[in-house]
């Protein structure tokens, strides 16, 4: 089980961060992902595999400012 934006999420099988984001329809170039308190560089989305106990914060930016 992992936590995403404060909510518990059960994963049926190990997946990469990129795959998780794709499944939840995040737009990759409009987000920032922090994993266990530190920024996860975009270059690592496809290589990092989510494991039990991981805490993700995914911030999606909307336009305007």
Partner 1 sequence: MNSFTKEQIYNALNERHSPETQALLSQGNVAVAGLGGLGSNIAYALARIGVGHLHLIDFDVVDLTNLNRQQYFMEHVGMYKTDALKSLLLKINPYLDIRTDCIQVTQDNLQELFQNDAIICEAFDHPEAKAILVNGILEHFPDKRLVAASGMAGYESSNSIHTRRITRNFYLCGDETTESTYGRGLMAPRVAICASHQANMITRLILGEEEP
Q: DSSP assignment, residue 22?
A: H
- Should residue 61 be labelled a site residue for partner 1 when binding is judged by CB under 8 A? yes
Nearer to partner 1, 20 or 45 (CB): 45
Rounded distance between C-alpha atoms, residue 38 and residue 11, angstroms: 21
The binder of partner 1 chosen from 10, 13, 25, 41 (CB under 8 A): 41
User: DSSP readout, 42-62?
Assistant: GGGTTTPBP-TT-EEEEEE--
Nearer to partner 1, 30 or 49 (CB): 30
Q: DSSP assignment, residue 17?
A: H
Binding-site ranges for partner 1 (CB under 8 A)? 27, 29-32, 34, 37-39, 41-42, 57, 59-65
């Amino acid at each position: 089980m992992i936590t995403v934006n404060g909510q518990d999420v059960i994963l049926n099988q190990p997946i990469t961060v990129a795959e998780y984001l794709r499944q939840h329809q995040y737009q990759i170039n409009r987000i920032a992902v922090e994993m266990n308190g530190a920024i996860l560089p975009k270059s690592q989305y496809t290589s990092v595999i989510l494991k039990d106990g991981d805490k993700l914060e995914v911030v999606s930016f909307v336009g305007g400012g």
